[in-house]
Each structure stands twice: as C-alpha cells, then as structure tokens.
C-alpha cells in the first residue's frame, strides 16, 4: 500500500469490486505508458490483450463474470480498450458466460478467448488456435499469415501429445542455494524439460539445497544431511547452476567432486563451472588453498579472479553481460559436436568472475580442458574433463536460448548422457529418432529448420 497516494483509502472489498489487486494499483505507471504508446504505435500496430480470471465458487458452481466486467471498465477508464479478453478458468467456460462477457464488455464473441486448466502448458497454444486467435491477429494486424495451420502447429500438437505419453523418466539433481524459491531456476527447469521431452523422458527434477550437503549440516541436522545425499546419489545426473556469494558453495563443491569421481554426468553453469575448476584445483592438483577472489579477496592461490569488463571498482559496470561469441579451441570437443560442429556459438552471459588464464596449463596437463574461449582468447568459456562420460562446464547461460522444439545442446547432452544414449546420438550425426518428428533435431525435420542448434 506504500505506493498509493496519500488520501486514497482502498480496501480489499473495493479492490475485489474493481476486479483488481494491489499489484494493479502499483502497476498504474505501466498502464499509462501503454496508453501513450498506443498512439505512437498506431492502432494497426498495437493490440491490447486483457487477461482476467473467471472464478467459479464451490458454493454455487456458477462461473462469475463480474470481476471481468469491472476490470475491463476500470481499464477503459484509464484509457485502454481491450482487443481481446482472455478468460482464465478452472473448467471450460460455458457459451452463455462467453456471450455475457462479450455483451457487457463491448467486444465481439470471437474476441473472448477462454483458457481453462489443461493437462500441460503445451496444450495452451492449441486452445488458442482452436478459438481462431491466429485468424484474428492476421486480420487485426494485417499479418502475412497463411489461413491453413502451419507445420509448426502440427509439430506443436505432437509435442503436446508426446508430453503426456512419456513412460520413462530421467532424474536430475539441481544443487543450488535458492531451492526454496524454485522460480529462481525457471529457465533452467524449462531447458531441462525441453531436453527431456526431446529424448522421450519425463523430467524428475530434484532440488537439493547445497548447504544440506555440507559437513556442518551433518552435525546440525543429520536427517537433512543424509536425505540430501540420498537424493544426490540416486540422481541420473547433476547440475550446478549459476549464482553469487559464498553461502552454499562448499555443498556445491561436494556435489561436483562426487560427480567427477563417480563419473556421474555433470553440467556446471556460470558459477557451477567456476566451482568445477576450483574443485579440480583442490582435489586433483592438490592446491588445498585454491579459491575464488569472490569468496576470499586475499587468497594466495586465486584460481577464479575478477576480470572487469569496463570500470574497475564500479560494481554496476563490471559484469560481462549479453550475447557474446564463444570460439571453440579444438575440433575434438564433445560440446562442439553437440553444437553441430560449429566453429563458435553465441550465448548469453551474466557474470563478473573468470578462470585465471595464467593457470590454464596446469589444469590441461591433468585432463581438464578449456575447449572454448572468448574471441580474444583471454576468457575461459567451456571446460571438459577427459575420461568422463559427460563433465562439462560453461561460463554462459545456455538455458536462455533453449526452446521446446530446439533444446539447448548443453542440457540435451546432459540428459542424453544420463540416459545412456549420448554415444548413439553422436553416431547418428546429432539426430534424434525419425519418430521424434516434432523437433528440429529429428531426421524428418523440415528443410527450413535444418538441425542447426545455434541459429
């Protein structure tokens, strides 16, 4: 309520009558921005879609339209008129309810789109298409779209059917310190899910709080400690995502060490890659005091160091951000093969610390290869471990470029290794089974979307 102007007394009852929430009040500046933007963009380039909940109280079982009516009225009062009203509900909305919304919200019935709860989010685009949303956009925005359903839509229907028929599962242990807020790893979860669907497996994602793996937890809470390790041991593969700060790093190092020694498929993202290098330095190179300057600025053995991008000392200008090129140093790289043998990849970055380039030869002599560099060859981007089924770390964030029909190569490789099918996949030229024709990686992929994973 702190953002509401002084003198405006708003109760929950008033908000319900408006069909809104506190978030709507706080979002007023964005509504005003859209109101002004519609005139700059012109009507032929601007389409306003209003999403509203149609509740169905258990007491009456009747689908209520009043919140939608009131929220549309409030929106119009702020200078915006919806072109489409998307109604969310637990069950399919009855035609009479749809017509009522159309009448009292001053839109045509075809402008009322109903999205009820479905078996998976992959069903939602199909629901939208069935209600003519593509045809509406074509006419409303004069888009060059064919009237007939596209190949992409046929593929999407296959992926939706496939998602519900999968019988096998693949378990992934995600070891992080934000596991109580799983939304922090939404992009990682989706990238894993895209890859799991591609190999026809259900994703069994197990969140493990890295602090629970640390020796201190064994003394503090033995049950949590042993439960965490039990999860880690039974997982088919291990993933350590990005993050900042020292808390929980000891547990991540323990998980990485276990994956390396037990030859369990492993993928380290950003900080996960840095910790993989740090773990190797301590346990394979016997540099017991090896550390990152992020955790110990005065460490005598700085394996991970701060390499400022712009202004040293200015925390707001030292991060390496955005899409950047990573050049493959050698052709004999597992990840390069997964990227269809491209000479370089472009992925998004978000980090401040880097592997110390002066120490690279010590690691490579012991089998930890730095197979990917930045275009200047100063920043280490990709690591691979010899004599391991899949031990890869990347400084970038490949999850940001993963798509349902075009999974990230790094994540796909992890799950292929976890299910014992990586060798077969590589032998077939990084092609999936012909039956997996929904994916751009299948042998029946359409020519315009050939199997490139980087385009």
Supply the residues annotated as catalytic. Answer: 270, 397, 399
Instruction: Say which residue the tokens 């596209």 belong to.
Output: 150
Task: Produce one character per residue of 426-445: b if its CB has 16 or more CB atoms within 10 Å, e if not.
Answer: eeeebbbbeebebbbbbeeb
Query: For residue 403, what is the DSSP state?
Result: B
> Which helix (H) or strand (E) element contains residue 170?
strand 169-176
Pairing of strands 320-328, 368-373: antiparallel
> Which helix (H) or strand (E) element contains residue 74?
helix 66-77
Contact of 240 with 252, CB cutoff 8 Å: yes
Contact of 66 with 30, CB cutoff 8 Å: no
Candidates 328, 334, 326, 327; CA nearest to 387 is 334
Candidates 183, 181, 131, 121; CA nearest to 156 is 121
> Who's near 411: CB < 8 A, 6+ residues apart?
191, 192, 194, 195, 267, 398, 399, 402
Residue 86 bridge partners (DSSP): 51, 113
Residue 153 CA to residue 27 CA, distance in Å, equals 34
Question: In 78-170, where does DSSP find H-type helix?
Answer: 95-104, 124-130, 133-141, 151-165
């Amino acid at each position: 309520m702190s953002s509401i102007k002084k003198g405006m007394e708003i109760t929950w009852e008033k908000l319900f009558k408006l069909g809104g929430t506190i978030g709507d009040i706080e979002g007023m500046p964005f509504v005003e921005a859209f109101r002004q933007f519609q005139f700059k963009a012109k009507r032929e380039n601007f389409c306003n879609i209003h999403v509203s909940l149609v509740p169905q109280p258990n007491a009456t079982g009747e689908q209520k339209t009043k919140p939608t009516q009131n929220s549309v009225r409030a929106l119009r009062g702020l200078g915006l008129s919806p072109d489409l009203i998307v109604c969310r509900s637990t069950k399919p909305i009855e035609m009479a309810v749809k017509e009522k919304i159309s009448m009292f919200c001053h839109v045509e019935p075809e402008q009322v789109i109903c999205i009820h709860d479905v078996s998976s989010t992959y069903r939602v685009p199909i629901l939208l298409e069935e209600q003519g949303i593509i045809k509406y956009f074509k006419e409303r925005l004069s888009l060059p779209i064919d009237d007939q359903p596209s190949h992409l839509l046929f593929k999407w229907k296959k992926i939706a059917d496939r998602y519900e028929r999968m019988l096998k599962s693949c378990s992934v242990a995600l070891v992080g310190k934000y596991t109580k807020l799983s939304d922090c790893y939404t992009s990682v979860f989706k990238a894993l899910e895209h890859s799991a669907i591609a190999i026809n497996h259900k994703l069994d994602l197990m969140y493990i709080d890295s602090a629970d793996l640390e020796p201190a937890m064994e003394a503090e809470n033995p049950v949590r400690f042993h439960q965490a390790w039990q999860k880690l041991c039974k997982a088919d593969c291990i993933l350590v995502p990005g993050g900042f700060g020292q808390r929980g790093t000891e547990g991540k190092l323990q998980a990485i060490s276990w994956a390396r020694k037990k030859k369990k498929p492993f993928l380290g993202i950003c900080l996960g890659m840095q910790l993989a290098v740090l773990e190797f330095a301590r346990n394979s190179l016997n540099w017991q005091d090896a550390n990152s300057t992020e955790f110990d600025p005065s460490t005598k053995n700085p394996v991970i160091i701060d390499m400022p991008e712009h202004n040293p000392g200015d925390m707001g200008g030292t991060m390496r951000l955005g899409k950047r090129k990573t050049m493959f140093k050698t052709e004999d790289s597992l990840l390069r093969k997964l990227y269809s043998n491209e000479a370089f990849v472009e992925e998004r970055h978000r980090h401040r610390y880097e592997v110390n380039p002066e120490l690279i030869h010590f690691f490579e002599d012991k089998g930890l290869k730095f197979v990917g560099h930045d275009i200047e060859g100063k920043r280490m981007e990709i690591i691979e471990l010899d004599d391991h089924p899949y031990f890869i770390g990347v400084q970038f964030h490949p999850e940001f470029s993963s798509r349902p029909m075009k999974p990230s190569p790094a994540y796909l490789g992890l799950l292929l290794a976890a299910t014992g099918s990586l060798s077969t996949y590589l032998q077939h030229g990084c092609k999936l089974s012909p039956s997996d024709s929904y994916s751009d990686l299948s042998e029946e992929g359409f020519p315009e979307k050939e199997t490139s994973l980087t385009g």
